[in-house]
Structure 1
Amino acid sequence: MIKGSRKAQGGFDLSDAPSHLIRRCQQYYGDLYAREAGARELTKQQFMLLAALEQNDGASQTALVEITGIDRSTLAEMVRRMLEKGLLTRERTEEDQRANAVAISASGRKALRSARNAADRAERQLLEALPAPDRQKFVKALREIAQAAETLAANGHERPAARPTRRRRLS
């Protein structure tokens, strides 16, 4: 926590909490993207998934969870819906018949190109909230935080994904 994020009475001041501020920035970007993309374009998460697949075509759904940070059940539902819309293709991997390799279809590539323009405009608007000299510093700081998260995960210290608990039947 940074200095000043605790109030005198021991309360928590959200206006100084980096975690809250990052969340608010994410919400602001979501609003900018939605406005730029309009109702007919991809959602922010669909765009993120297609952008990840553009660089990792044929990735397994498990790998896509790691790449995008989208939780397993949400990603599975997104893939299902995007398959129905013809944006993706999916097939079993040769290495593991239980895993699915996901790829972008021709329609998905077209949707990605269109949505990329909206995302670029939203990204520019997001950064325009900062003075020009601070924009690259801000992106660099975010990159460093993201790298710290990747290092933590690579070292096996990530928080395990929430799994449903099984209830034992009482006899």
Structure 2
Amino acid sequence: MEIVEQQTEFSLDRSASHLLHRAQQFAAEQFEGLDGVDITLRQFAVLAAVREQEGCSQSELVKTTGIDRSTLADMVQRMEKNGLIERRQAKLDARAKSVHLTEGGRTSLESAMPMVQKADEAILSMLPKNRRRAFIGILGLLANVGDIGFDELDSPVDVKAKKKTNDAGKKKKKSKKDKKKKKEKD
């Protein structure tokens, strides 16, 4: 007996590519709606990537940010002109340039950080709490940023709570071992 796969009619409300595009639009609107941000979301991503990998190459920035090579080259040139970053001769390769934050770039990044976090919170608040970590993990897979461990996604409060729980469990295990050793000695 042959199993025939049923095909459903195409619908935008079930199209992954369309829904991701709409979600991206919503995310960009959250960032753009914040007062006091003097950089774009893409510039923020570049500044954050440079802070995480001070002295990185533009090729590394392409991989980290997902911005295509030619767009990133134009952005880096404008951001350097605006005093947000600077390019220096790379230490290991005389042909390459390394990218560094300037004081102005660090200031812009730090002033935008609370607003980006607020935008992220607005996005995540639309999801049930028990699905937020999975959502971020799935986005990481789709963005091909590697394996995001769930521990990295926990809030500092969640991490502290887990540590206390784990430490308490270790103490209990240790005390059981101590009791066993004590019985063996007796």
Q: Quick one: distance in 1 between partners of 2:138 and 2:55?
A: 31
**TM-score w.r.t. length of structure 2:** 0.69
1:23 is matched with which residue?
Answer: 21
1:34 is matched with which residue?
Answer: 32
Q: Are the structure 2 counterparts of residues 92 and 134 from structure 1 closer, same or farther at C-alpha, using a change threshold of 3 Å?
A: same
Aligned residues: 143
Q: Are the structure 2 counterparts of residues 64 and 37 from structure 1 closer, same or farther at C-alpha, using a change threshold of 3 Å?
A: farther
1:110 is matched with which residue?
Answer: 107
2:122 is aligned with 1:125: yes
Across the aligned residues of Structure 1 and Structure 2, the Cα RMSD in angstroms comes to 2.3
**TM-score w.r.t. length of structure 1:** 0.75
Spell out the pairing of 1:152-171 with structure 2 (5 A cutoff).
none
Spell out the pairing of 1:67-78 with structure 2 (5 A cutoff).
67-78=64-75
Q: Secondary structure, in 3 states, of the residue corresponding to 1:95?
A: coil
Q: Are the structure 2 counterparts of residues 51 and 37 from structure 1 closer, same or farther at C-alpha, using a change threshold of 3 Å?
A: farther
Which has the larger Rg? 2
Q: Secondary structure, in 3 states, of the residue corresponding to 2:88?
A: strand
1:161 is matched with which residue?
Answer: none
Of residues 104-113 and 19-28 in structure 1, the stretch that sits farther from structure 2 once superposed is 19-28
Q: Secondary structure, in 3 states, of the residue corresponding to 1:28?
A: helix
Higher helix share: 2
Q: Secondary structure, in 3 states, of the residue corresponding to 1:36?
A: coil
For residues 78-116 of structure 1, give each alpha carbon's deviation from its aligned partner in whole angstroms, at most 9, with x where no partner exists: 111111111101112133233210000011001001111
Q: Secondary structure, in 3 states, of the residue corresponding to 2:109?
A: helix
Percent identity between the two aligned chains: 37
1:55 is matched with which residue?
Answer: 52
User: Greater relative contact order (Cα 8 A, min sep 6): structure 1 or 2?
Assistant: 1
Structure 1: gaps (5+ residues): 152-171
- Which amino acid letter does the alignment assign opposite residue 96 of structure 2? A
2:133 is matched with which residue?
Answer: 136
Runs (4 or more) in structure 1 with deviation over 4 Å come to 3-6
Using the TM superposition, give the Cα deviation of residue 5 of structure 1 relative to its aligned residue in structure 2, in angstroms.
8.5
